[in-house]
Amino acid sequence: MAKYKIIYDRNNCVAAGPCAAVDPEHFSINPDDGKADLVGGKETSPGIFELDIESDEAAQQAVEVCPAAVIQIKKIE
């Protein structure tokens, strides 16, 4: 059962890339625009993607390395 939610603001991603290096399970770089895609994420409003996850360990690293602060993790239970 999911315990955390990744919330990713793709609109403000600056295509820096380290999120995909530290957390390739959840982030991949889109070759078309160089921005990150949230793997398996659902677009909940334009450019905002969300994904429920069970452990925040790897995603937390993505939060820390993102220079644009566009990745958030919320505890949901």
Task: Name the residues that contact ligand SF4, by CB under 6 A.
Answer: 13-19, 27, 35-36, 65-68, 70-71
Dist CA 64 CA 1 (whole Å): 25
Q: How far is the CB of 34 from ligand SF4 (least distance, A)?
A: 8
| Amino acid symbol at 72 | Q
Dist CA 26 CA 62 (whole Å): 9
Q: How many CB atoms lie within 10 A of CB 32?
A: 7
Question: Which one, 24 or 67, has the nearer CB to ligand SF4?
Answer: 67
Question: Which one, 9 or 77, has the nearer CB to ligand SF4?
Answer: 9
Question: Which one, 2 or 14, has the nearer CB to ligand SF4?
Answer: 14
